[in-house]
Structure 1
């Protein structure tokens, strides 16, 4: 690497070459000496509430106009903008004499500190909180909203970090790539960039030195950024990338390797609407139905009949095809209001997933009753059901017993390293594995997957993580039972080749990623994938592992 190159974590493949365009800076609240006069404070409170509601309404409107994951994250941000906690804190500060701008900044900072202490997805929401703060302050000051500029030409969008509102509304015809100084492989920026098909690099060191308008060559596969690149060479590489994108757009499926070995590509969904949309793609079924995302705002537990209706919509979208339902993965990063979530010092290592049954008597049983009812209502025979965060063989046994009593096919998520290390014992109890690479990486590397500072550690290319995947697959082969992957790693075309070389039998991902994975698989033989897998698990680090894949496959 020379002085012209910068390195980050490549999270969405593709090559782009264009001038850099930085996001608009956040406004700085005016420094006001003294306090707001007491008689003026009610008007100041009204001014603050009007600005906050204006910003919340804009998020709601953007959510209505968006699709897929963008709708979900924008809707969540709109709810956060209307959250009574921070609004009440800001109002209290204004009533004590602070200006609306100062109160907004101070109230949000209180909650940023709280969320950072909680860790997990709550720590990730600090980006959203700061984005809300910046937009409300800009509204109060009569300034344009900070964030993404409206480009009139093709650009590489550069930022310290991007909030959901920024990434969800991007014009992919003009913004050719995203590069951020912060962020990680599973951040909102990465997930939405993948949905839009925009090359993306996060945690890019030295990005702050890139100037507005400077030509930048971005390689979303390797994570390398090149400044002052030779224009003719850059255009040649962009042309190759464009040709590949054209091939991806016309891919028809089904997925198979160059020597004809079939690979099952499935979709991750969160509700019936997403399942119906996935049914119009080349997805061969649902590999991960995230049931908890249907209940993030439910204050009381839905009845078995209501749950069955909701689950039935997903079954109905894929009749006679594989649908894998995950029981509630609530707690820590996805708190569900009706579940009993006690305060924990380290919620990522606390009562979440299957452990919710410890503090919520009958919660898992009622959900399994609802899944069984939905299957019966939609003529589904023995649907696949898996439990998250299983860490002991006894947990797997108890879950399998409950499933089989309801004619459900039991499986578990491999997210805790213990499940991979004792894979043979776990597979003696259940019928399948599904590897959640996001959490498996986090727990293997002892690194919060939402921390931008640890993006290198939370890269699923880490050899230690791949070695655990290998252990799980080897156990699956010995037991004659399938092992799938449903984490974000499945959507990486090069890593997909490694995974099937390790013995993974199915890959589940965002539906928009299916064609790019299918095209890449079609370019390599199964034998080459096995050779690559053998080499990668012996790599020194994630960077070497990825570079090895590039040299062997591209």
Structure 2
């Protein structure tokens, strides 16, 4: 047997034959058109429009985070600037195929030069261009193969459109050679509960037909596994399925310490799945879905109805609603249309809302009205809070509207380092580990070139989490985690050891995290947290914790009569 290593997503284990992703379509040649510019232009526009519709339909079918990603891809496909570039090449005598290929390549280079969010979206153009070319050629677009039997899919990376609609009856596991723990592939794999290992650079050596074991918990792909290894993996997979299928219980450590397990949701329609998977409430409701597809802010009545639908799904349970988090990777023309050289450090989150306070007040009005009509325990929080003054501003405004529980997102180092002063005014703090990692490591979370720095296991990030956890403990204020880190079962235990009192994640991750917590005591969690803090970097922190966890005997959760 031999092993390949990468970053595992979740605790799953699977085995089966490898099937490699189909190769990209070859580039067209640049021979001149014989059909004429009008015909070529019509072909190109029909192909682009069809692909955009297909991406939108895939998003609607997938829902969740996948829908947001695919709808963004559809918008890119029909970008007027890109269409003008295609038309210009056709007017110069090119075929629709060459015009699309060359225009998309040029647009890709432009976005890469801009960097940031747009730079990361440049990679999406490859997938869109391939789909448009396939439409023009009348062939199937490159994508997930269908060998007619269950298989382990190996790819450089997966386009969001492919990840969103993977047939989980056929795709046993996913291995990518690129990407990291916060890549689109990792996020969507976690949301769908796919056994996955990303960033396994040596995966290029895997060949179609060979049998492998994919152990996400260990981040290991085993080649040429022995009969005994296959049997052990099958037993683990069966045990995990049994645990996932068992009735959900409230989150708690083995010694009975309660740790609320909550869901991250993007729209009210996602609530039913979260409840079915045992979510004890909502730790992060993203209100952006109401705003991002609109040319103007939704009315108070429109917002109230969406919030009422959400709250009605969780009677008597905590529902944490984040105010509109726009700017940076989520620009809104009616909120902030000014060009910024570095929007991630610009007018975003609460800063943007204060600059357009009417939008913030309308949100608070709608939430207060929805709260009055339902029985959920509504909490509201402001995004991207950096100062004590911002905390005082938001909590005061929320209370002005009769909202009794107001808190802040801790996503920048300043609010983590001043957590005791922030929590003197806020009722709670919720740590967004994605952005906290980005700002701590000075690594744009959407920029592939610095993806290796975007790892919440880094001790610098964990020290900031500890600051917030300690402040919460001293002041008796809840501290939640609502970033991707909470969905990593091993890291979830570490976060509890650092002082987190609740964890919020994609609903599909709840079962694995619940199980991981149930096997550890508060003392175990503290020991694992200390091991992570003593490391020098993210990789060594992950390894140190995994090693110690393997040495600690798992406990059975205590029950009370």
- TM over 0.5: same fold? yes
Q: Which runs of 5+ in 1 are unaligned?
A: none
Verify: 1:258 aligned to 2:254, yes or no. Answer: yes
Verify: 1:20 aligned to 2:6, yes or no. Answer: no
Q: Which runs of 5+ in 2 are unaligned?
A: 551-561
Residues 92-103 of structure 1: pairs in structure 2 closer than 5 A: 92-103=88-99
Match of 1:145 in 2: 141
Give distance in 1, aligned partners of 2:231 and 2:540. 27
Give distance in 1, aligned partners of 2:365 and 2:503. 27
Once the 2 structures are TM-superposed, how far is the Cα of residue 349 of structure 1 from its aligned partner? 1.5
Give distance in 1, aligned partners of 2:370 and 2:111. 37
Residues 76-95 of structure 1: pairs in structure 2 closer than 5 A: 76-95=72-91
Q: 1:210 aligns with which of 202, 206, 209?
A: 206
Match of 2:365 in 1: 369
- The answer as to whether partners of 1:119 and 1:346 remain within 8 angstroms in 2 is no
Match of 2:559 in 1: none
**1:362 alignment partner, SS class:** helix
Verify: 1:59 aligned to 2:55, yes or no. Answer: yes
- Deviating more after overlay: 51-60 vs 441-450: 51-60
Match of 1:192 in 2: 188
Match of 2:503 in 1: 507
Deviations 1:254-297 (A, max 9, x none): 12211211110111111221124323331111110100122211
**2:270 alignment partner, SS class:** helix
> What is the root-mean-square deviation in Å for CA atoms of aligned residues?
2.1
Once the 2 structures are TM-superposed, how far is the Cα of residue 119 of structure 1 from its aligned partner? 4.0
Deviations 1:461-505 (A, max 9, x none): 111111111110000011110000000111111111111111101
Give distance in 2, aligned partners of 1:224 and 1:453. 24
TM-score by length of 1: 0.93
Seen in structure 2, the aligned counterparts of structure 1 residues 238 and 547 have a Cα distance that, compared at 3 Å, is farther
- The answer as to whether partners of 1:151 and 1:174 remain within 8 angstroms in 2 is no
Once the 2 structures are TM-superposed, how far is the Cα of residue 120 of structure 1 from its aligned partner? 4.3
- The answer as to whether partners of 1:119 and 1:347 remain within 8 angstroms in 2 is no
- The answer as to whether partners of 2:252 and 2:517 remain within 8 angstroms in 1 is yes
Give distance in 2, aligned partners of 1:146 and 1:526. 49
Match of 1:442 in 2: 438
Match of 2:232 in 1: 236
Match of 1:36 in 2: 33
Match of 2:555 in 1: none
- Deviating more after overlay: 528-537 vs 10-19: 10-19
Match of 1:398 in 2: 393
TM-score by length of 2: 0.92
- The answer as to whether partners of 2:437 and 2:456 remain within 8 angstroms in 1 is yes
Seen in structure 2, the aligned counterparts of structure 1 residues 110 and 356 have a Cα distance that, compared at 3 Å, is farther
Deviations 1:298-333 (A, max 9, x none): 101122232222222211211221111101111111
Verify: 1:338 aligned to 2:329, yes or no. Answer: no
Deviations 1:21-79 (A, max 9, x none): 2211111232133x335x71100111112222222232233334334333443343334
- The answer as to whether partners of 2:248 and 2:277 remain within 8 angstroms in 1 is no
Seen in structure 2, the aligned counterparts of structure 1 residues 163 and 26 have a Cα distance that, compared at 3 Å, is same
Once the 2 structures are TM-superposed, how far is the Cα of residue 150 of structure 1 from its aligned partner? 1.1
Give distance in 2, aligned partners of 1:507 and 1:290. 16
Deviations 1:404-444 (A, max 9, x none): 21122221111101111111111112111000001111111
- Aligned residue pairs total 549
- The answer as to whether partners of 2:283 and 2:503 remain within 8 angstroms in 1 is yes
